[in-house]
Structure 1
Amino acid sequence: MDDDLASIQNQSNQTAPSPDQKTDWNKILIGISVFGLILLVSGISFAIGRSNQKEVVPTPTPTPLPTQPIIPSPKPRPEDDQPKAETPTPTPKILSKTLSGDKNLDGFQSSNGGGNLTLDIRAGRNVNLVTRGFVSFDISSLPKTSTITEVTLRLYQAKTVGNPYGSGGNLIVDHLKFEDNLENADYGAPALLSSFATLSTNAAVEWKEVDVKSEVMDDLSNSRSLSQYRIHFNTENTGGDVIGDFVYIESADNSEATGNTPQLVIKYY
């Protein structure tokens, strides 16, 4: 029994709170009360502040009026300051026309009154005579409004006999007008322009050419339908032998059978 009393006494001693423990609970209760009071005061203050605030009505933002865009003036370009280049004149297309000699108006005439219109175009001399050649072209087919740029007389030297260039010098050309009738009087007829060009200086068998643009232009400006020429050596006198010293130029009759008949080549536009 004594043991039971001792056990009960020990339990009583364990469960009874100490004065310090009572003090701790009081502190906790006081802290909770203070914290609650602070929350209450804060809530009341917040409510009073909200009630005193005025509702702020936002001021509407004005809509801006549309404005015209500012277009900057174009800056001058360097090329605008440069002088304007002139449009080049187009180059005209050059046409070419080859006229053949008239076989009825070419041949030769001699100082002794003789001559021939069906053989070659001959120039030179022998012991008895001096001979001159003639050639003619019909230019009436040229367009009246054309602009002539070049005219070339082309004669083919088919052969030589003797030493014509040694005795006569150079073969030269006269611009002549004998129209549609070649006769012996044309041997010494006054020329429109005497010895205006050299046709040949040697005995080579080849084409001989000379510029006759001015002569053709003169014919056209004077309404001549024929452009005509006389061929002879620079020095003319009788001499040598009967065979003589002559050049033979192919005629429109093709008497030398070369096929290289007289030509007048005209370029124009």
Structure 2
Amino acid sequence: MRLLKYSEIRSIVTRSDVVLEVVEARNPLEIKSNVIEYLAKGGEKEYILVLNKCDLVPKYVCIEWMRYFMENNIRALCTSSLKGFGVKKLKQLLLSYAESKKPLNVSVFGLPKVGKSSLVNALKGKNSAPTSRYPGSWGYTKSITIYKILPGIYVIDTPGFIPPDVKELEMLIRSLPTDNIPNPVSIAREIIAKILQNNPSSIEMAYGVVSSDPLQLLEHIAVKRGWFFRKSQEPNIDEAAKTVIRDYLNGKITFYSRPPTRAVPDSS
């Protein structure tokens, strides 16, 4: 997997007018990088946080997250590249920026598996083709592609990146193929614990098993699926763990977090 280096991110941001950072609407704070926001705002670029996969969470959760980021001086939009939600609104916003700045160069950043490429595909549409050059910068750079999505508006599609300030769990499961993740049982237990805390019935809905113990849930899933080690006939919890990790990433398990609540000032 080709991942962006910090120097590449900084160079691309410098050549951009608008910077889109794509995260998941399910748990944006665990995936959002302060690095992208810092570079964009430090370079006086327009910074937009795109809360993608909004079809996987209730509408009120998206609204809560948009309000939360707005209160923290971050413009945020909810989109679903799969369903097409919010894509038109994002295009309209880019067109409004292009009224005062053409050509408009828009870079798109995001961790692997957040739906960044699908969002780029939704923005560029069926008839868009890559261009070998956009004003003010280089032509093709390996793994970086530029698309003309609207008259005078260019989107720079970048590889994924793994910044140091992203939660360790998300960094690990998104930077490696699931089969290559070391100790998948430990990772799956952490994912299950997080799901049980935020969405208690989700594991039962997804797998038809019930327990408050993540390890026991993995055993139940393995038994229910008929996964056993040949020699010992013990439940193959490694396979169950990998399934949980994949289903978490693919949105097959209902999971979402809500914004932190602000402490109410003491009126006494």
Scaled by the length of structure 1, the TM-score of the pair is 0.20
Larger RCO (CA under 8 A, 6+ residues apart): 1
Question: Which has the higher Rg, Structure 1 or Structure 2?
Answer: 1
Scaled by the length of structure 2, the TM-score of the pair is 0.20
Relative to its length, the structure with more strand (as a share) is 1
Relative to its length, the structure with more helix (as a share) is 2
